[in-house]
Structure 1
Amino acid sequence: MKANTRKFEVLRVSILSHCSFACVYCAPKNKPDRTDFYPKIHYLNPELLESKIRLLTSHIQLKEVHLTGGEPTLHKDLVLLIQKLKEISIDEIAITSNGFFEDGLIQKMKLAGLTRMNFSLDSFSQSGFERLSDRKLPVERLLKRILEAKTFGLDVKVNCTVLKGFNESEILNLLQWAGENEIPIRFLEFMKMGPLQEEHSNCFYSAEEIRETIHSQYNFRPYPTAPDSTATYHITDEGFIFGIIANHTEPFCEGCNRLRMDSLGRIYGCLSDQTSFDLPSEPSDVPFVLEQAMETKKTQFTGSELSMKFIGG
């Protein structure tokens, strides 16, 4: 790859192309995904993942592989996928989940090599949770899963996508719960991806509005943030740590070090570009494909028609 450009260090892998939820910002029932992208459900084969990762690590230094979806815990070979990443000597292995999965899975993933779990928690109230997820499931079960992951010694973070008219009034309650349980929470600007492109402006709640909401009850100051972090972190006087991921109003594209892979093993260089690339079987051809993927990276986030669940959201 070009020496004067950014480099890929984090790989986000969508290990399957569907989810058990139909969240309003990702897969609303009345706004189906374009079938020309993914005409059917796909699961990433463990052997395919291993071969692709070995190809990549022969040319780039991956410091983290993050398994996503869809909902990755629906993958029947999830533990095996984690084991294979561990065998390839990936130091940081993370997963993002909605928290609704079988008992005992967290311990199995931890033993296989998992180091971090991110949980999507968009509402603290039962009614808000049902409205956002389109599922009549107890939000209390999700809260218990988050705490369970922490008891197993995993690095745990909580993600909340903020949508105007849906959950902006819950920001303070979510921050308090996460802070009291010593879990960093990240508030995300609603991203212009997939089915809700046209309605984006109606639901958008900016990073500045999130900070103003938090400042109405808490004093906070900057908290150390890694240069390649997607979030800008702060800490309240009470010691509550929160981050804000502001793709639209405060883009961090210039420092992006992420490469993405879908459930077919295709790679994407940028979240704002739906161009995909097949990794060649010949190792000597990999650098050229990686350079092509790098050239798709934008300097400003613009979004895409492709839903987040297909490319490691």
Structure 2
Amino acid sequence: MTVDTRKFEVLRISILSHCNFACVYCAPKEKENSSAKHYQMLSPDLLQRNLKLLIAHIKIKEVHLTGGEPTLHKDLIQLIQIVKQNSIQEIALTSNGNFKTGLLEDMLAAGLTRINFSLDSISQSAFERLSDRNISVSHVLNQIESAKRLGFNVKINTTVLRGFNDREVLDLLTWSGERNIPIRFLEFMKMGPLHKEHPIYFYSAEEIQEQIKSIYQVRNYPTPEDSTAQYFITNEGFIFGMIANHTEPFCSSCNRLRMDSQGRIYGCLSDETSFALPETDDEIQFTLEQAMLTKKKEFTGSELSMKYIGG
């Protein structure tokens, strides 16, 4: 019998449940049931309460703010400040990049250290098709470059879908590599509205790598032990990662605890079970143990959209 040695070290928080994009793999309009979920925003008071309760029981080395689109939260700067005040050294945020000018500087001053930009296309037509929005991709690209110039630790996340952006892998790698920004290619996860259609759109990490190796010479690049990505580097110095949650699952090393915009916690992306955080120490420890028990040995997916549970 093997002993499960996993522990919670990274807290991913979906600070609100809505987004200004309607990406095909997350919230396509024809699949969204508006009556199923009401928009929720995590309040600063609830974040402060839950952080203090959790920090007393687990050593959190990183808090990652997600959504929905976290830059839509009216109290975003205050939330970042609260995390910083609780002595969390690594504070990250995942964004689609469609936010107002000046917010980058405000987030940096508040204590944010890293931004992961979701960027699935640099082609205007494909960008509009994937996001279902008439938004200039140039604006998003400019925000990514601005974040890099300001000194943020910047990464790009690209979810690859067959028939949508699978022919853009090389363009995206070249664009990010020329700007010294690591890019991570994600296998489309069996989550949310397209849960049942997953096989139609799935494009494997192996197929992505085959494209890259057809043009570039590639070798392994140092990868952190708890990373969800396996990193590589081309001879040109372009760094890219592969997040192959389906074909090369990494569940056995998962150290993530998730919190939704109502303050409830989840132990696993593949399990919709959530828990309210109680007040007493004994109850909190038991709740965390129950959340850990929901973690799967391999990724099985869920019909719950990731925007509700911190991605």
TM range (shorter): over 0.9
Separation of aligned partners in 1, 2:99 and 2:205: 31
Aligned partner of 2:235: which letter? Answer: D
Match of 1:304 in 2: 302
Q: Paired residues, what number?
A: 309
* 2:163 aligned with 1:165: yes
How big is the shift at 1:284?
A: 3.0
Match of 1:86 in 2: 84
Aligned partner (choices 122, 125, 142) of residue 124 of structure 1: 122
* 2:50 aligned with 1:19: no
Aligned partner of 2:241: which letter? Answer: G
Question: Structure 1 residues 296, 35: closer, same or farther in 2, change over 3 A?
Answer: farther
Separation of aligned partners in 1, 2:32 and 2:117: 24
Match of 2:102 in 1: 104
Match of 1:139 in 2: 137
Aligned partner of 1:300: which letter? Answer: E
Aligned partner of 1:212: which letter? Answer: E
How big is the shift at 1:35?
A: 4.3
Aligned partner of 2:90: which letter? Answer: E
Match of 2:8 in 1: 8
- Per-residue deviation, residues 208-253 of structure 1 (Å, max 9, x unmatched): 0010011111110110101110100000010000001011110000
SS at structure 1 position matched to 2:88: coil
Match of 2:30 in 1: 30
SS at structure 2 position matched to 1:52: helix
Q: Equivalences for 1:127-206 in 2 at 5 Å?
A: 127-206=125-204
SS at structure 2 position matched to 1:168: coil
How big is the shift at 1:5?
A: 2.3
Separation of aligned partners in 2, 1:232 and 1:54: 33
SS at structure 2 position matched to 1:81: helix
Aligned partner of 1:285: which letter? Answer: E
Separation of aligned partners in 2, 1:250 and 1:157: 21
Separation of aligned partners in 2, 1:171 and 1:115: 27
Match of 2:59 in 1: 61
Aligned partner (choices 286, 291, 294) of residue 293 of structure 1: 291
Separation of aligned partners in 1, 2:245 and 2:252: 12
The runs of at least 4 aligned residues of structure 1 exceeding 6 Å deviation read: none
How big is the shift at 1:34?
A: 7.5
- Per-residue deviation, residues 50-85 of structure 1 (Å, max 9, x unmatched): 110110000100000000000000000000000000
Aligned partner of 1:19: which letter? Answer: C
Would you say the 8 A contact 1:33–1:307 is kept in 2? Answer: no
Question: Structure 1 residues 235, 136: closer, same or farther in 2, change over 3 A?
Answer: same
SS at structure 1 position matched to 2:219: strand
* 2:256 aligned with 1:258: yes
Aligned partner of 2:103: which letter? Answer: L
SS at structure 2 position matched to 1:60: coil
Separation of aligned partners in 1, 2:225 and 2:254: 9
Match of 1:51 in 2: 49
TM-score scaled by structure 1?
0.97
SS at structure 2 position matched to 1:13: strand
SS at structure 2 position matched to 1:277: coil
Separation of aligned partners in 2, 1:209 and 1:35: 38
Question: Structure 1 residues 10, 33: closer, same or farther in 2, change over 3 A?
Answer: farther
Would you say the 8 A contact 1:33–1:195 is kept in 2? Answer: no
Identity %: 66
How big is the shift at 1:33?
A: 4.2
Note the residue ranges of structure 1 that are not aligned, 5 or more in a row. Answer: none
Separation of aligned partners in 2, 1:101 and 1:180: 24
Aligned partner of 2:238: which letter? Answer: F
SS at structure 2 position matched to 1:169: coil
SS at structure 1 position matched to 2:168: helix
Separation of aligned partners in 2, 1:312 and 1:292: 19
Separation of aligned partners in 2, 1:175 and 1:33: 35
Aligned partner (choices 265, 270, 276) of residue 267 of structure 1: 265
Note the residue ranges of structure 2 that are not aligned, 5 or more in a row. Answer: none
Aligned partner of 1:290: which letter? Answer: L
CA RMSD of aligned residues (A): 1.0
Would you say the 8 A contact 1:27–1:33 is kept in 2? Answer: no
Separation of aligned partners in 2, 1:305 and 1:165: 22
Match of 2:208 in 1: 210
